[in-house]
Structure 1
Amino acid sequence: MDFRIPPHVEDFRARIAYFVDTEILPVEADRGLWDSHGNIGRPALATLRDRARAEGLWCLQLRRENGGQQLGRTGMAVCYEEMNRSIFGPVVFNAAAPDDGNMMVLEQAATEAQKDRWLRPIADGTVSSAFAMTEPAPGAGSDPGMMQTRAEKRGDKYVLRGRKWFITGAEDASHFIVMARTSDDPRRGLTAFLHHRDEPGWHIERRIPIMGPEEHGGHCEIVYDGLELPADRMLLGEGLGLKVTQMRLGPARLTHCMRWLGLAKRCTEIARDHAERREGFGIRLADRESTQIKMGDLAMGIEIGRLLVMKAAWALDQGDFARKEVSMAKIHVANLLHKAADIAIQINGARGYSTDTPLEWIYRYARQARLVDGADEVHQMVLNRLQSGDPQNFWRWPVAEG
């Protein structure tokens, strides 16, 4: 097995690392450049995005004809990890959720006309987007089959009614992908639609306060109360909404993991830097066996996470849905990030609990990692079901052609 990365991927990685160190980390360190929700302020973001474009570090995930760098999932794994050494890295390179996942599914599922209207403005960075699927109980959460939002066909249009919540980025988004029920068929009952923020028949009920820092546009509760959409707003076609969710959520879950590995590495950097400089009772923290055990365990956990992510990325590049691989990576890396932030805060003591470092930011952010895009328990049940249904193939290695 060849674990070497191609030279062009290493070139992107090195240039991203330099850009993060020289351009993004100084902005991160200046709290005056943040917004009120713990994210990078729009003026500073616009400046950094212009510089990232000029350096050719924009939209690594898309094909070149759609304004991207066409790195593939394995190349993205290397570079996304590097860019999220800063808490603000991904959004600078147009690689942050939810735009990242929305762009990838639009590239794969949209018609050329839909790409012109709905994908390219997101890829250009002129608008942001949201994916409206999750609903309050008794509606859809981890189980899309519980979808309550309905799209009723009336003539040549569809009328949407329902409620969504915790929709990331909705307050700032212009382009929306919304999931709605078009029939009661258990397999072909859901449909994905595209709509613009300026169209009547929907509104944001509230921006939901959360424990952690927020993406631009927050996490919102949305009401659809008669949004009318023509048939050309369907993505893939009527009844193919479950396929759209499969196409979107697997890769999006994995890109979360790619980014979280970068944050976990940043936690170890901050912890190690403090441990090497801080002394107590005549000995450096870095020389204490308890510190060394914690840091060694984190190093191993991060490397396991990288291998899980890279295997899943490789499987996606082969055209596989990689359900097993993505679920394993999602569980491991989400828990790893929380553990890395917790240990780094413990090593830093009161300094880690303060806002003098980004550790408290990462800690608050990390707790949602075990919930977003499927809770730990959901992915554990998926793995059990896959293994129970086909125990021999679950463990089978892919075989190369002879």
Structure 2
Amino acid sequence: MDFTISPRIEDYRARVARFVADEIMPVEERAEAWDAHENIALDWLEALREKARDEGLWCLQLAPETGGQGLGRVGMAVTYEEMNRSIFGPPVFNSAAPDDGNMMVLEKAATPEQRDRWLAPIVAGAVRSSFAMTEPHPGGGSDPGMMLTTARKTDNGYVIRGRKWFITGAEDADHFILVARTSDDPRRGLTAFLHHRDDPGWRIDRRIPIMGPEEHGGHCELVYADMELPADRVLMGEGMGLKITQMRLGPARLTHCMRWLGLAKRCAEIGREYAANRHGFGVRLSDRESIQIKLGDLAMGIETGRLLVMKAAWALDQGSFAKKEVSMAKIHVANLLHKAADVAIQINGARGYSQDTVLEWIYRYARQARLVDGADEVHQMVLNRHLAEEGRDFWRWEAPGG
């Protein structure tokens, strides 16, 4: 692959970087701009979103005919990293989970009528969305084959019954993609449905308290108590639910990594700045070999993550499923984010443990990275399966005609 980005992508990267520095990061410093769940308050968010739209920085991930800029996965990797220099960055550009992944899967899988009804309002920023798949034990989590929520077919459509939990953004969402079991077929037993907040027969049981700051709408437990949906709410056809989850979760895992790299770089930035200005025992911190080793190792880890993410993004743009590449990026960058926050806090000492910087916010947020969209161990097993199947070809270089 060629690591030179196009002039168009570089233009978007520079514009996003300037917008984050000039418009978003100053908002982080204003206490009144924070909501009760440690995210950007919605009125402040909407004002920034309007500016992003005006500057043509809206929905960079989507095709122009959908309302985006068509940057592709490589362009997303470059710009998403810049967006998340600020903890408030991604939602300003309509590039935050779960809307990000939901928009991309609806763009590919929905009918024209479904795109008009279910996708267009998310693209416009008029509504938020959620992806309802994960279930409490003994239901499906990383293994969708364990799913217990059922969709029973009737003369008029389907009746949904079951329970979901840790559904990101559900409290603020209007549009939902719901995955339920329609048969016991191991490959065609799941079906994806579209439903609205106002559809009867379901409820939010609770917003689950978590360790770290929350996305808008939190992480919720949902109960479906015989919710009736018409047949036109099926996404991509009955039995295609597993395909929908694969289409959505692979790229979504990678976009998480793109954003987390921005946060890791922010940690390194705060650590370097403090080390350059803090003196102790007559020596500047940045002149101490121990600090230089920490920052040098962190810089290498970030660059390793960028290369893994870019290879996966490039493979996706070439039409590959990039399963190995995405799993490797997910494992490395999730662990890197936690390490970056930890190192920066250690360098900053008590200041890092305080709320005078965003480091403690990132540290608490980072612990979920090794769990969401597949725990480390799940992705390690995926890689081992590829290794068992491919042997030495696991590390092969792609060649023309190969």
Instruction: Give the TM-score range, shorter chain.
Output: over 0.9
Question: In the aligned structure 1, how far is the partner of 2:400 from the partner of 2:6?
Answer: 20
Question: In the alignment, residue 136 of structure 1 is paired with which amino acid?
Answer: P
Q: Which residue does 2:364 correspond to in 1?
A: 364
Q: How far 1:399 moved relative to its partner?
A: 1.7
In 1: Cα distance, 2:397 partner to 2:61 partner: 27
SS of 1:2's partner is coil
2:388 paired residue number: 388
Shift of 1:231: 1.1
Secondary structure of the structure 2 residue equivalent to 1:94: coil
Note if 1:79 corresponds to 2:79.
yes
User: Using the alignment, how far apart are the partners of 2:157 and 2:4 within structure 1?
Assistant: 52
Corresponding residue number in structure 2 for 1:130 = 130
Give, as a single letter, the amino acid of the residue that structure 2 aligns with 1:338. H
Look up the match of 2:261: 261
- In structure 2, give the amino acid aligned to 1:266: R
Q: Which amino acid aligns with 1:139?
A: G
Matches within 5 A, 1:11-26: 11-26=11-26
The Cα of 1:386 is off from its aligned counterpart by 1.0
Matches within 5 A, 1:159-170: 159-170=159-170
2:311 aligned counterpart, secondary structure: helix
What TM-score results when the alignment is normalised by the length of structure 2? 0.99
Q: Which residue of the partner structure matches residue 294 of structure 2?
A: 294
Q: Name the TM-score, length of structure 1 as normaliser.
A: 0.99
Q: CA deviation at 1:230?
A: 1.0
Alignment of 1:190-201 (within 5 A): 190-201=190-201
- 3-state SS in 1 of match to 2:171: coil
Q: Which segments of 5 or more consecutive residues in structure 1 lack a partner in the other structure?
A: none
Residues 306-356 of structure 1, C-alpha deviations (whole Å, 9 max, x = no match): 000000001111111100000000000000000000000000011111111
Q: CA shift at 1:2, angstroms? A: 2.2
* Equivalent position of 1:306 in the other structure: 306
Q: Please list every run of at least 4 consecutive aligned residues from structure 1 whose deviation after the TM superposition is greater than 4 angstroms.
A: none
Match of 2:178 in 1: 178
SS in structure 1 at match of 2:338: helix
SS of corresponding position for 2:3:
coil
Distance in structure 2 (CA, Å) of the matches to 1:149 and 1:139: 8
Q: Secondary structure at the match of 1:163?
A: strand
1:301 and 1:327 map into 2 onto residues whose CA distance is 16
C-alpha distance in 1, partners of 2:397/2:63? 29
Kindly provide the CA deviation profile for residues 51-100 of structure 1, in whole angstroms up to 9, marking residues without a partner as x: 00000000000000110000000000000000100000000000000000
Aligned residue identity for 1:368: Q
Residues 102-181 of structure 1 mapped to structure 2, 5 A cutoff: 102-181=102-181
Calculate the aligned-residue CA RMSD, in Å: 0.8
* 3-state SS of 1:171 partner: helix
Structure 1 position 400, deviation (Å): 2.7
String of CA shifts for 1:271-326, please: whole Å, max 9, x gaps. Answer: 00000000000001100000000000000000000000000001111111100000
What is the one-letter code of the residue matched to 1:14?
A
Task: State the shift of 1:401 in Å.
Answer: 4.9
1:392 CA displacement: 3.7
Secondary structure of the residue that 1:134 maps to in structure 2? coil
Write the letter of the residue equivalent to 1:181.
R
Give the 5 Å matches for 1:311-322: 311-322=311-322
Residue identity matched to 2:229: L
- 2:96 & 2:394 partners in 1: Cα distance? 32
Give the corresponding residue for 1:6. Answer: 6
* Cα deviation code 1:131-180 (max 9, x no counterpart): 00000000001000000000000113100000000000000000000000
The 1-side partners of 2:115 and 2:398 are apart by: 34
Query: What secondary structure is seen at the aligned counterpart in 2 of 1:390?
Result: helix
Q: Deviation per CA, 1:346-370, whole angstroms, max 9, x where unpaired?
A: 0001111111100000000000000
Whole-Å Cα distance in 2 between the matches of residues 196 and 302 of structure 1?
A: 40
Q: Deviations over 1:353-393 (max 9, x none)?
A: 11110000000000000000000000000000111012243
The one-letter amino acid paired with 1:363 is Y
State the identity %.
76
Name the SS for the 2:172 alignment partner.
Answer: coil
Give the counterpart letter for 1:234 in structure 2: V
C-alpha distance in 2, partners of 1:237/1:392? 38
Q: Does 1:244 align with 2:240?
A: no
In structure 2, the partner of 1:347 is: 347
Shift of 1:232: 1.1
**In structure 1, distance between residues paired with 2:28 and 2:272:** 19
Aligned counterparts of 2:336 and 2:300: Cα–Cα separation in 1: 10
Q: Can you list the C-alpha shifts for 1:102-143, whole angstroms capped at 9, x where unaligned?
A: 000000111111100011100100000000000000000100
Q: Does 1:399 find its partner at 2:399? A: yes
Aligned positions of 1:37-116 closer than 5 A: 37-116=37-116
Gaps of 5+ in 2: none
CA distance in 1, matches of 2:22, 2:400: 43
How far does the alpha carbon of each residue in 1:193-232 deviate from its partner, in whole angstroms, 9 at most, with x for none? 0000000000000000000000000000000001111111
In structure 1, how many angstroms separate the alpha carbons of the residues matched to 2:346 and 2:307?
27
2:225 corresponds to: 225
- Counterpart of 1:316, as a letter, is L
For residues 107 and 369 of structure 2, the distance between their equivalents in structure 1, rounded to whole angstroms, comes to 26
Q: Distance in 2 between matches of 1:264 and 1:338?
A: 8
Q: Which amino acid counterpart does residue 214 of structure 1 have in structure 2?
A: E
- The residue type paired with residue 240 of structure 2 is L
